[in-house]
Structure 1
């Protein structure tokens, strides 16, 4: 598979060397010193993408930086706060397929796990994601923030990252806000069709695993074969408890497992990755108004196989491995997305109605063999699962210029997110390797839930509705002064359930039957004949309901005190109530575990002072207070297994809000158009930061408020273009320039834990913080060093870009060591990533095509997550990532 891709890359590079300079596809900003000219709009592309000198379209609540379409404007410089902007041209240059990958190139941002963006090393709880200024819910049970890898780059017009707080944003700001703005009004009518194919040398055409599932799995939609079986559905409706003895569990068990979901099959040659997108748009002149329509639909199908080593230890010195497994995991991820946008512009007014649909489905298959407690017994585990994540969002935003001095912004939205995981099936077979065991050389499953094997199946469902609204009124009494006030409302409600069942066989279960493969072992005839029963393992609280309701009002002003000195300051008031409570699903209620009700109100001030030393150089100083609330799942005392991290979690109803006190000083130098240098230092003091800890022999991760933490660091960024027209006499360089974009972030964080500091952990006999946290330990997920470098060549008169992209994040804590064993923390060591992305416009049969080639992880670096005390080391998770090659082609009609 790699051979044709490499050939495609060579063809693309060769075309870059000979491509004529007359293709006016994506015109870049002129090199330093040249005079800006307005290029002709590109057919089939929004004007703002065609014109990289334009300010990108940005829609955020109550801000003065909504200045679309002005050539030469520098939004980073003119914004009243510290912001970074990714335009559609910036996103295209890096070639990332989703917005999370593109944001990973921004100064101070890193992407952890499945699309969660960390700002300055702070966890995802300290990042806020908005779409057109409105909040988004998350389809992940363990998160309240949305994973940004759900958003394909083709539906995003721009991305704004603001790292200094201002009062027009929600108070849950923490590290920063990420606002995505969708496209609405195209400059000309267009239809763009694109397709791509890709391969990974660790996955494609290599051996992997899968299971049948259903015939429609490739679409990302199940054909109904995974629906809850009738007997189980009737049991759920009855309100009965299995433990009551009144339930015919055999009838239920006989409908749960079949060939479709239990038989793991070897795939000798895993298929390549592929994707397709179609988008179109048009606009209508209504006589004094312009109506725009834009729509896009996309589909991608991607395979990833990982050969993983996973270990853990219970001992303080890490000298004995509790579990030592090698697992092969094959994930088939299918993403279907669609967007429909309607925009109306009349005068200086704009109305946008955006409708977004994203469905992200993961078909998960895993097979592993390993040991426990360093014995000679082999354990073989298999897992099959189907995870459906879905997001539906509709919102209306109106931006009105009532008078030259008075503007009004209104927004309202509804979003629904769902996550369904039907029939998560796990089985374990045991091989004793004992000469005294007649079946010692075979893997058997006696279904005794001990050292003789077991089988479990789970059904989980999450549904979350989010209603939001806001109004912002801005008044400019003088050209130097702007006053803004606003109100925002948010109501989030979530219901989530997880029902876990275990198959249990009697002691008389024949060993010969225990040799059967899973779909035969648990077929109805075996269950009936040998009296296999079901046990529900979490009858305590299998479901919960959560709600967050927040009312907020703010006032702020922006005052240009002198031509060189300005201040942007304000205060926000938030009054919120967050509740989490178990849902009684049984007709005979059991003892309810502790519920949570947090009622808090806060005054959150912010101020940014900007001193312009000269027209191209300025200093900024910012100070603010923000908050971070516990996530829903972190509050309920209930077990949950996260397949992404292979860890079990349990909430803590005693969690409290965190409060952050932030300060930053920054120097900015805009030495040429679209070119800049910046240097900054920042400090954060966090009261009651929410951190994870692990306790118990089952390696359960839970949450607690550490007493406090300090975080400080600095950032440096450089964006430079070098005109290459004077390089030699070769016409190749006549219209090209060198692009260099580099940034570095240093961050240091420390937990502050004193000997007498208290901690509140539900169900724990200890209230001493030192039993759970170590003084001086870094915050979870924080890397000391973040480096991003883009180095490339691009044509200023045609579509031709070749870019090398380097990214690096130093080690960071992913889990604490066992709290009761004084173990060291578990560290993730992200690999150095070197990518190459090339885009080239070519003419074929009189039509222009955009050809893109990507090579990812060129250095072929591996992933490692380890725990070490200097003498012994435990490999928590390690695997080869592999090199990925993608080739895509698009054209516009």
Structure 2
């Protein structure tokens, strides 16, 4: 932060120096802005008629000419999508004279009323204007901002928004957002305002690493809701607005290549999918079929190392308007990304139950290496046609596909005096996709009334075929002196094979009617609408366990993958019925009434009531006698909301909002069984008692928009969540623990403060945001292990108050920007800080896993090299910031005896490090052409 302050002073000093110099020569200076919105037209060209003088408009809308001779000058400003703007004559009288002129440019209009082309809609100034005019509390990233960020996916870009953190996968890639400390289960995701299904095999939230950020026109994060918005968004709504048809011919192409430097230390392990069966023996031959060992080949467990794999990306966007009066607009965008990522992980695992006084018992130190190849494809297209000034129809479609191929190798060491080693490997091939097609219509019925409607079909798919893992080991470790020697036999262990497949199909209908009128001689907009969505979800899960074939009655020794032999024992060859095979239907019916009333010249109120009815039904393949084999769930929610907007001045606003919202449980949480493939524990649903969550949400925000890309936002928020749901480790049976969703306590609170500051001075800019969040939840059913004088070592239930899962106290972003429009130079240095947050709950009090604070430094740049051709670069994680997980426990004498290697000389005394993940630095360089 000290460095940032010094840099700010340097910028300010340079700005004052430039102003001082201008005072000693003949100068014409001013700003070029949109005549309708007041937004600066960054990049516009201003020329002095009759001379060779030319200036490019800077980030704050300013331009200047200096060292002019006395005389009269006429200025001409040009910008794509705007009519030519002229100003003058401007008179420069004598030495030391400075003339100031502001040029207003009008956007082009077609003959059809209602088609207005605003050239700045994709830049920062356009985003600020949309935030200022929005009905709800919202933050927006424009397409220009997304292009210049160091990130190439929507998930990673979201961490730049105030109050948003991201949850990363094992490859280090961001996947799920957390808004203001509210976990991903409390967040709603839309594409062009249409809710889309999730390909996740357990949940309804969307893995946003599927979406390349270059497909977007803008990224909206709404932190309050109006009655017209869907109500399952306690944390907020993320809306991915895809690129819209341009005003004129558009062609943009980009290609890039890069590298992850972790592969300088560990090779990338690749495998062939040729030997992997996309369908299990159960799927092919039926549930009663007894599988044969020959149906489980091992070719994909034979890895091939790559020393320096190259990352590549490519993208193209084409669009134009056609026909009479340009009534037909078309755009098509495509993106391809092929990334190689590596992870080095150290994990220290705990036993199922702790020692006395809840002191954890550690079992294995696992040194893991991940090699992940991700291929990401995204295509988005839109066509809109205006029949006449009152009727318009649009068709847009989006398809994204993610193909992940991951190898995980692990060396496990027991935490004991006589240590033993074991080795394990896991091969995972996962491909996910989302497709959405939406037909929309807008019809102006009269001068004051209009109707809009949407019909949408969406499909989300997820497949993990033949995930394979096996281990071998048992070698003893002799650490005599400075030498480490292995002794004993390397014995082959069992092998697990699993197939997972799920799909979601949504059919949705939206209809809205809007009427403008007056109420008590004040403007009043009445709006009402309805929604119906039918969802079908299918889930398939099938697994087999094969044991090593005994050779002459002896354990089979491991030599190579190709030589390993496995066989079935007993009924393992037949796939067993389980609750992970199910169908799930969900019908959402909603209606709302909303009014927007201009109470005074300065005060506007928007409020109303939304009603949502939920009907769910599931059927599993559990035996007929099993509890909760099938189920039906029905409930109705009344969701009021109110937004007050007070205009202090033209560019200053106060907002006060209230809304009630819900969070529906995830699909797998309502099914009695659960998958076995979790890293730590088996998962299990909770159909017998899980309730959906509801919340009351309040926001108060001050907004300042100085009329350019600058802004200052200061706000506070408060949430009360009833029946919050969290995934907790629970005892199941005598000595087994499972992950299980539960309604923790009776209610939770979440409140905080949020600040956003953006300021541009000439070619320099600073963008910063900070969010403080504090949540509180009390769990009355935590276990504590202690020594009872009569019962001996036993458990008792105690109460524990803590933050909500995923909530970080402090979140901050700081970006220093330099933009020189005359040379075509853009540079951005970005720092993101995320405070400590609770990652995994444990049944036993105080034994939770906490993600430690992280600070990540990234750099991006773009440089024009010839007319419309630019060279750009994106550098991520320059400081090689690891992800560290710890327990809030002192490193005491007992733990010193157990030798916790990750904590030694690397953590405060009040924490024990249980996991470290390193991802190293990624580099990407490329070329972009835009016509």
Query: Normalization by structure 1: what TM-score?
Result: 0.82
In structure 1, what is the equivalent of residue 545 of structure 2? 502
Q: Give 1:319 shift.
A: 4.7
Q: Give 1:550 shift.
A: 0.7
Mapped to 1, the partners of 2:443 and 2:150 lie a distance apart of 35
In structure 1, what is the equivalent of residue 137 of structure 2? 82
In structure 2, what is the equivalent of residue 611 of structure 1? 646
In structure 2, what is the equivalent of residue 226 of structure 1? 277
Worse-matched range after superposition: 688-697 or 345-354: 345-354
CA contact (8 A) 2:503 2:538 kept: yes
**Residues 108 and 349 from structure 1, CA distance in 2 versus in 1: closer, same or farther, beyond 3 angstroms?**
farther
Q: Give 1:639 shift.
A: 2.6
CA contact (8 A) 2:59 2:761 kept: no
SS in 1 for 2:748: strand
In structure 1, what is the equivalent of residue 368 of structure 2? 327
Q: Give 1:552 shift.
A: 0.3
In structure 2, what is the equivalent of residue 783 of structure 1? 808
Mapped to 2, the partners of 1:37 and 1:443 lie a distance apart of 81
Q: Give 1:614 shift.
A: 2.0
> Does residue 873 of structure 2 align to residue 853 of structure 1?
yes
In structure 1, what is the equivalent of residue 389 of structure 2? 347
Worse-matched range after superposition: 661-670 or 770-779: 770-779
CA contact (8 A) 2:151 2:874 kept: no
CA contact (8 A) 2:777 2:803 kept: yes
SS in 1 for 2:868: strand
Out of 443, 452, 457, which is 2:490 matched to? 443
SS in 1 for 2:244: coil
In structure 1, what is the equivalent of residue 110 of structure 2? none
Q: Give 1:78 shift.
A: 1.9
User: 1:292-312 CA distances to partner (integer Å, 9 max, x unpaired)?
Assistant: 222222221111111111122
In structure 2, what is the equivalent of residue 244 of structure 1? none
User: 1:707-748 CA distances to partner (integer Å, 9 max, x unpaired)?
Assistant: 21011101011111112xxxxxxxxxxxxx211111110000
**Residues 308 and 434 from structure 1, CA distance in 2 versus in 1: closer, same or farther, beyond 3 angstroms?**
closer
CA contact (8 A) 1:783 1:811 kept: yes
> Does residue 581 of structure 2 align to residue 543 of structure 1?
yes
> Does residue 508 of structure 2 align to residue 461 of structure 1?
no
1:639-678 to 2 correspondences below 5 Å? 639-641=674-676, 648-653=682-687, 654-678=689-713
User: 1:209-250 CA distances to partner (integer Å, 9 max, x unpaired)?
Assistant: 222223xxxxxxxxx953326x54443x2x32xxxxxx544x
In structure 2, what is the equivalent of residue 31 of structure 1? 60
User: 1:862-890 CA distances to partner (integer Å, 9 max, x unpaired)?
Assistant: 11112231225554431212111110112
**Residues 784 and 102 from structure 1, CA distance in 2 versus in 1: closer, same or farther, beyond 3 angstroms?**
same
Worse-matched range after superposition: 573-582 or 380-389: 573-582
SS in 2 for 1:514: coil
In structure 2, what is the equivalent of residue 191 of structure 1? 251
Worse-matched range after superposition: 498-507 or 330-339: 498-507
Highest CA radius of gyration, 1 or 2?
A: 2
Mapped to 2, the partners of 1:875 and 1:134 lie a distance apart of 42
In structure 2, what is the equivalent of residue 202 of structure 1? 262
User: 1:547-591 CA distances to partner (integer Å, 9 max, x unpaired)?
Assistant: 22110000111111111111111110111112333136xxx8563
User: 1:643-676 CA distances to partner (integer Å, 9 max, x unpaired)?
Assistant: 6x66542211121110101111111122342222
CA contact (8 A) 1:540 1:591 kept: no
**Residues 284 and 628 from structure 1, CA distance in 2 versus in 1: closer, same or farther, beyond 3 angstroms?**
same
Worse-matched range after superposition: 202-211 or 821-830: 202-211
Out of 634, 637, 649, which is 1:599 matched to? 634
**Residues 332 and 442 from structure 1, CA distance in 2 versus in 1: closer, same or farther, beyond 3 angstroms?**
farther
SS in 2 for 1:671: coil
- Answer 1 or 2: which has greater strand percent: 2
Mapped to 2, the partners of 1:88 and 1:634 lie a distance apart of 37
CA contact (8 A) 1:680 1:716 kept: yes
In structure 2, what is the equivalent of residue 157 of structure 1? 217
Mapped to 1, the partners of 2:608 and 2:476 lie a distance apart of 71
**Structure with more relative contact order (C-alpha pairs < 8 Å, separation 6 or more):** 1
Q: Give 1:610 shift.
A: 1.5
In structure 1, what is the equivalent of residue 412 of structure 2? 370
Mapped to 2, the partners of 1:851 and 1:362 lie a distance apart of 29
Q: Give 1:516 shift.
A: 4.0
1:471-490 to 2 correspondences below 5 Å? 471-478=511-518, 480-490=523-533
User: Aligned residues, how many?
Assistant: 783
SS in 2 for 1:149: helix
Q: Give 1:840 shift.
A: 1.5
1:205-604 to 2 correspondences below 5 Å? 206-214=266-274, 225-228=276-279, 231-235=281-285, 237=286, 239-240=287-288, 248-249=290-291, 251=292, 253-259=293-299, 261-267=300-306, 269-285=307-323, 287-288=324-325, 290-314=327-351, 315-316=354-355, 317-345=358-386, 346-347=388-389, 349-372=391-414, 374=416, 376-433=419-476, 441-445=488-492, 453-478=493-518, 480-505=523-548, 510-511=553-554, 513-522=556-565, 527=567, 534-535=572-573, 539-583=577-621, 591=626, 593-604=628-639
**Residues 142 and 869 from structure 1, CA distance in 2 versus in 1: closer, same or farther, beyond 3 angstroms?**
same
Mapped to 2, the partners of 1:455 and 1:325 lie a distance apart of 19
Mapped to 2, the partners of 1:331 and 1:400 lie a distance apart of 49
Mapped to 2, the partners of 1:107 and 1:37 lie a distance apart of 39
Mapped to 2, the partners of 1:53 and 1:749 lie a distance apart of 48
CA contact (8 A) 2:780 2:798 kept: no
Q: Give 1:771 shift.
A: 7.8
Tell me the C-alpha RMSD between the 2 structures: 3.2
CA contact (8 A) 1:279 1:297 kept: yes
Runs of 5+ in structure 2 lacking a partner?
Answer: 1-42, 47-54, 65-74, 83-103, 108-113, 169-173, 479-485, 784-794, 896-910
Q: Give 1:188 shift.
A: 2.3
**Residues 458 and 875 from structure 1, CA distance in 2 versus in 1: closer, same or farther, beyond 3 angstroms?**
farther
CA contact (8 A) 2:150 2:876 kept: no
CA contact (8 A) 1:360 1:388 kept: yes
> Does residue 841 of structure 2 align to residue 816 of structure 1?
yes
Q: Give 1:371 shift.
A: 2.8
Mapped to 2, the partners of 1:100 and 1:804 lie a distance apart of 19
SS in 2 for 1:75: helix
Worse-matched range after superposition: 390-399 or 821-830: 821-830
> Does residue 126 of structure 2 align to residue 101 of structure 1?
no
Mapped to 2, the partners of 1:38 and 1:485 lie a distance apart of 44
Q: Give 1:459 shift.
A: 0.7
Mapped to 1, the partners of 2:444 and 2:497 lie a distance apart of 57
CA contact (8 A) 2:655 2:702 kept: yes
Mapped to 2, the partners of 1:633 and 1:837 lie a distance apart of 40
Query: Normalization by structure 2: what TM-score?
Result: 0.79
User: 1:498-523 CA distances to partner (integer Å, 9 max, x unpaired)?
Assistant: 1111013576665474324334323x
Q: Give 1:355 shift.
A: 1.6
Mapped to 2, the partners of 1:777 and 1:746 lie a distance apart of 16
**Residues 183 and 642 from structure 1, CA distance in 2 versus in 1: closer, same or farther, beyond 3 angstroms?**
farther
> Does residue 777 of structure 2 align to residue 748 of structure 1?
no
1:122-137 to 2 correspondences below 5 Å? 122-137=182-197
SS in 2 for 1:89: helix
Worse-matched range after superposition: 179-188 or 413-422: 179-188
Runs of 5+ in structure 1 lacking a partner?
Answer: 1-20, 44-51, 56-63, 215-223, 241-246, 446-452, 724-736, 759-769
Q: Give 1:699 shift.
A: 5.2
Mapped to 2, the partners of 1:779 and 1:854 lie a distance apart of 34
**Residues 100 and 233 from structure 1, CA distance in 2 versus in 1: closer, same or farther, beyond 3 angstroms?**
closer
Mapped to 2, the partners of 1:313 and 1:646 lie a distance apart of 9
In structure 2, what is the equivalent of residue 144 of structure 1? 204
**Residues 771 and 414 from structure 1, CA distance in 2 versus in 1: closer, same or farther, beyond 3 angstroms?**
farther
Out of 859, 872, 879, which is 1:836 matched to? 859
SS in 2 for 1:154: helix
SS in 2 for 1:634: helix
